[in-house]
Amino acid sequence: MAARIHPAAIVESGAQLGADCEIMAGAIVTRHCILGDRVVVHPYAVIGGDPQYLKFDRALETGVRIGADTVVREHVTISRSIRAGGFTAVGEQCFLMAATHVGHDCSVGNQVVLANATLLAGHVAVGDHTFFGGGAAVHQFCRIGEGVMVAGHASITRDVPHFVMVAERDDVIGLNLVGLKRRGFSRETMAELKQAYHDVFFTPGNIRAVAAAAQAGGKFAAPEARRFLEFFAEGKRSFARARRAGAKDADAG
């Protein structure tokens, strides 16, 4: 089915809309956009606008890609990339609630929810199945792993590994056990994740070295536990850290 474009919506020439997309009244989809099938853009959202970057050359050909079945609610802004030929990317089956912002060069995975007024600065990477509470804000260049639960009004300035919950300012408060159960993870996998979490966050020393040692030990068979540990070998930023009464924080190096 052809895309449906409501009165007073603006879809610039050159924009690519998949089958059965719906662009509601007052929404703006610039020529820099590629929308997958069944994407819905609600009133007054702006998709593919210029990035909020003072040195940006508006003549550059950059864009925004949005995957199939994603819903973009009112007043959402998704900025195009600052890099020639680059794209800001939002995956499939995402839900971007009202007044959220996805900055230039972000990469948002599949089945991600951004509750109202979530703010992602430029170059943020978000894994699949992650949920952001309302008003959460993420610093530029941060990585947020798969299956993370970010609390409302959280301030994230460090990398957050897969499968955890994070609140306040970079405070990891445990594994996202409810999310893991809903996705059907086995008890064995969850037990390994608990052990890997404990090894990383409550073993003294540099957190990268601790994670590498845990991985090298060979006691983790579950792919998810190994991916949790591998997260700490990548990236350039420091890591969000667990807080627990009476426990030492692992070094964030």
Q: Which CATH number does the domain housing residue 237 bear?
A: 1.20.1180
Assess whether 98 and 193 both reside in one domain. Answer: no
pLDDT band at 1 (very low <50, low <70, confident <90, very high): confident
Mean pLDDT for the chain?
95
Domain range for 194: 184-242
Assess whether 65 and 127 both reside in one domain. Answer: yes
**163 within a domain of the structure (yes/no):** no
Q: Which CATH number does the domain housing residue 38 bear?
A: 2.160.10.10
Q: Is 35 helix (H, G, I), strand (E, B) or coil?
A: strand
- The pLDDT tens digits of the residues spanning 15-66 come to 999 999 999 999 999 999 999 999 999 999 999 999 999 999 999 999 999 9
Which of 141, 164, 192 is the last residue in one of the domains?
141
pLDDT band at 221 (very low <50, low <70, confident <90, very high): very high
- Told to judge if 26 belongs to the known catalytic residues of this protein, a careful annotator would answer no
Assess whether 212 and 113 both reside in one domain. Answer: no
**172 within a domain of the structure (yes/no):** no
Q: Is 212 helix (H, G, I), strand (E, B) or coil?
A: helix
The model's pTM: 0.94
Handedness of CA 160, 167, 69, 123 (dihedral sign): negative
CA angle 210, 212, 214 (to 5 degrees): 70
- The pLDDT tens digits of the residues spanning 168-212 come to 999 999 999 999 999 999 999 999 999 999 999 999 999 999 999
Residue of 104, 123, 129, 162 with catalytic role: 104
Assess whether 50 and 137 both reside in one domain. Answer: yes
Q: Does residue 67 surpass a pLDDT of 60? A: yes
Number of domains in the chain: 2
Residue of 63, 67, 103, 122 with catalytic role: 122
Assess whether 70 and 188 both reside in one domain. Answer: no
Residue of 69, 105, 128, 170 with catalytic role: 105
Assess whether 137 and 191 both reside in one domain. Answer: no
**24 within a domain of the structure (yes/no):** yes
- Told to judge if 105 belongs to the known catalytic residues of this protein, a careful annotator would answer yes
pLDDT band at 244 (very low <50, low <70, confident <90, very high): low
- Cα 241 from chain centre: 19
